[in-house]
Amino acid sequence: MGLLSKMTLRHKLLLIVGISTLMIFSLQIFYYSKFYGLTEDKESVHTSKMMKQVEEKVASFAQDIKDAALASSYNTMTHDYLSSDDPIYRLRLNKIVVEIMSGIKASNKNIQSIMIVDKNNNIIGALNPEDYVVLEEFEKRYKSPEYHEQTKFFGKVFNSEKMERPAYFFFHSISSTLNSESEASDLGKCIVIYKTDVLDQHIMNSKTTPNSLLMILDHESYIVTADESALNGTLFDQSIFKGGDNNSSGQQVEYNEKLNHVQINEVSLLDWRIVSLVPINEMTDELRAIRNSGFMIGTAMTLLILIMGLLFIRSVTLPFGRIVRFVNFIGNNGGKQRLKMSVGNEMGFLAVEINRMLDRIDEANEQLLDASTSLYQMELAKKQAELASLQSQINPHFLYNTLECVRSIGLANRVMEIVEIATSMAQIFRYSIKEDHFVQIKNEVDCIQDYLRIMSIRFMDKFSERISIDERVMAMKIPRMILQPIVENAIYHGLERKSGKGILTIKGWVTDEQIVRFEISDNGKGIHAEELYKLQHRLKVTDMNQSFSSEKGLGLFNIHRRIKLAFGEQYGIEINSSENEGTQVSLQIPSSEFITLSSETNP
């Protein structure tokens, strides 16, 4: 105390400044040494999390591409198209298949093209010449047996003479799903060419430090995308990884004359790698800024001890007032302006953080705008899907496809009655919507047999059928859906009301007068004599323009009128019945009106 009392004020101030400076400097060195390792670890953890996010985005991106290929490959229309040998039927399905692929492509903006290739290398979905180049290079590169055994895989093709950059694709083999795996037949292949542009944005948004390098390498070490766009498509030098070791994650390597911390994440679905190179010196930049700021703060404190409080007030209030005025201006007017302050104390940090906050707000606004645009596009796609759904309800193929779906469910659950009913109904429906007015009698008989199979299941073998038709008649033509309604009447109005088991008989032959005659009879309930008389009378006096929409027996009258319109007044149907004994319906048409189809294709 005596020594201090003898010291001049100048020395005391110098002592205070010296002690304060020494304490501040010592604390800075201590905390810098402690925080150096912590900051490096924190940056490494941050980089790991960032790379994990990129890995998840890439995996999700790849899964979306895979799902699009699966949706195209397992589509019923695609299978019908590839498995059919009928060029007319394939031509009708072509537009539907293209629309399905267009819808799948529209739902995923990262898909460039979806191509379906059948066994004869006919292509559906190629939109530009580069698609054909991709297919050509695919056939060259993946023709070895090891790839032929694979049913699906991600791959890449590149031809420097014909392509600006590599083309990445997902291959999926299309096989028939109607058979077991041991009997599955190859129908063709689906190739989805996808764009990697969306990954560029993910990589650019994930840059950690100014000179860090984040990139995605494919299985051949070509750079798919990097936060330095000039590197995209180039071959990455693997020699930096200690003799080419690709598992150098967590180590330090020399790159661009700087020591870098390297991390590698594998994307197994694509056989890609995400590689991060962060300069060691930049990992501690934040700490270096804190150290420098500490030195400046110490100097400022020393000066504040020597200088009057006015300088302290000015050094604090002026920057703060500037920040307040800037925040007030931005709050009222907005804009892209940023706060520029050269001071390195807390006010400088606050300005930096304000600028960062404004940058994040602008980025969030842009993302919100992008999200709103994407939401609008999704709503538009939803409306289009709803419209397509409504349109599919009036598309005859929709019911046929539904029946095929019911059949598949029956097969999956081994409910053979459902399988048989769905199969028969699908065949009847396909037959009923044929555009041909005249069909072979064989086709009409097949339709009847499909119908009888359904009725046999429904009525639990309540009746049996006997079908006897001359083979000479089978190749002749008849108006479509002439015999089936008569069979339906026999079951519903005769056999269904009969107690006990009944018999349905169907006969067809050519008489000596060259007339084709059919007789459809049952031993069912029969028709009351008075009602039978009315039916026979109306059949005899039926006018071609007369309507019987309110009368019973409308189906018989319509068939009778169709035969007369097609072949003349002397042809038609006759009906005879005895109550409780059965009913017989006879149908006559001239054989001279038919055409044998020994040299024609079955319609």
> Where are the domains positioned within the chain?
63-190, 434-593
The whole-number pLDDT of residue 349 equals 76
| b/e code 200-231 from CB counts within 10 Å (16+ = b) | bebbeebbbeeebbbbbbbeeebbbbbbbeee
Tokens encoding 215: 């990139």
Identify the band that residue 239 occupies on the pLDDT scale cut at 50, 70 and 90: confident
Tokens encoding 145: 């047996």
Higher pLDDT, 546 or 164: 164
Higher pLDDT, 119 or 150: 119
Q: What percent of the chain has pLDDT over 70?
A: 72
The whole-number pLDDT of residue 387 equals 47
The whole-number pLDDT of residue 596 equals 41
Mean pLDDT of the chain: 76
Other C-beta atoms lying within 10 Å of the C-beta of residue 156: 19
Q: Which residues pair with 267 in a beta bridge?
A: 272
Of 114-118, 390-394, 445-449, 587-591, least confident by mean pLDDT is 390-394
Average pLDDT over residues 297-317: 57
Identify the band that residue 316 occupies on the pLDDT scale cut at 50, 70 and 90: low
Angle between helices 87-106 and 76-83 (to 10 degrees): 150
- Identify the burial level of 496 via C-beta atoms within 10 angstroms of its C-beta, where 0-12 means exposed, 13-18 middle and 19 or more buried: middle
What lies within 8 Å, CB to CB, of 419 at 6+ separation is 407, 410, 411
Q: Provide the Cα torsion 422, 423, 427, 428; round to 10°.
A: -40
Backbone torsions φ then ψ of 284, nearest 5 degrees:
-110, 15
The whole-number pLDDT of residue 516 equals 92
The whole-number pLDDT of residue 27 equals 65
What lies within 8 Å, CB to CB, of 147 at 6+ separation is 153
**Contact predicate 117/78, CB 8 Å:** no
Residue count of the chain, please give it.
Answer: 603
If residue 349 lies in a helix (H) or strand (E), which one and from where to where?
helix 346-393
Q: Return d(Cα 123, Cα 121) in angstroms, integer.
A: 6
The whole-number pLDDT of residue 407 equals 67
| b/e code 568-579 from CB counts within 10 Å (16+ = b) | eeebbbebebee
Please tell me if the domain spanning 63-190 has the same topology as the one spanning 434-593. no
Of 265, 220, 211, give the one whose Cα is nearest residue 53: 265
Tokens encoding 257: 């004359």
**Contact predicate 581/523, CB 8 Å:** yes
Going by CATH, does the domain composed of 63-190 fall within 3.40.50? no
Average pLDDT over residues 454-466: 83
The whole-number pLDDT of residue 146 equals 62
Identify the band that residue 587 occupies on the pLDDT scale cut at 50, 70 and 90: very high
Read off the amino acid at residue 425.
M
- Identify the burial level of 43 via C-beta atoms within 10 angstroms of its C-beta, where 0-12 means exposed, 13-18 middle and 19 or more buried: buried
The whole-number pLDDT of residue 225 equals 86
Residue 318: pLDDT over 70: no
* Residue that is written with structure tokens 């006969």 in the block: 507
- Identify the burial level of 103 via C-beta atoms within 10 angstroms of its C-beta, where 0-12 means exposed, 13-18 middle and 19 or more buried: middle
CA distances from 24 to 17, 32, 65, 486, 585 (A): 10, 12, 58, 108, 115
**Contact predicate 442/451, CB 8 Å:** no
The whole-number pLDDT of residue 177 equals 58
Identify the band that residue 552 occupies on the pLDDT scale cut at 50, 70 and 90: very low
* Widest pairwise Cα distance in the chain: 152
Identify the band that residue 545 occupies on the pLDDT scale cut at 50, 70 and 90: very low
What lies within 8 Å, CB to CB, of 549 at 6+ separation is none
What does the pLDDT look like over 255-264, one tens digit per residue?
877 888 888 8
| b/e code 314-339 from CB counts within 10 Å (16+ = b) | ebeeebeebeeebeeebeeeeeeeeb
Three-class SS state of 419: helix
Enter the DSSP assignment of 593: G
Q: Which CATH architecture has domain 434-593?
A: 2-Layer Sandwich (3.30)
Question: Looking at the whole model, is its pTM more than 0.75?
Answer: no
The whole-number pLDDT of residue 592 equals 55
Q: What percent of the chain has pLDDT over 90?
A: 5
CA angle (310, 316, 318) in 5-degree steps: 90
Residue 506: pLDDT over 90: yes
Average pLDDT over residues 178-197: 73
CA angle (168, 171, 172) in 5-degree steps: 155
CA angle (523, 527, 532) in 5-degree steps: 130
Other C-beta atoms lying within 10 Å of the C-beta of residue 286: 14
Q: Return d(Cα 55, Cα 273) in angstroms, integer.
A: 9
CA distances from 532 to 334, 490, 526, 551, 574 (A): 92, 14, 9, 13, 11
Tokens encoding 208: 């950690």
Q: Return d(Cα 517, Cα 66) in angstroms, integer.
A: 59
Residue 209: pLDDT over 70: yes
Of 8, 13, 94, 3, give the one whose Cα is nearest residue 301: 13
The whole-number pLDDT of residue 203 equals 81
Residue 601: pLDDT over 80: no
Residue 78: pLDDT over 70: yes
Identify the band that residue 302 occupies on the pLDDT scale cut at 50, 70 and 90: low
Read off the amino acid at residue 409.
I
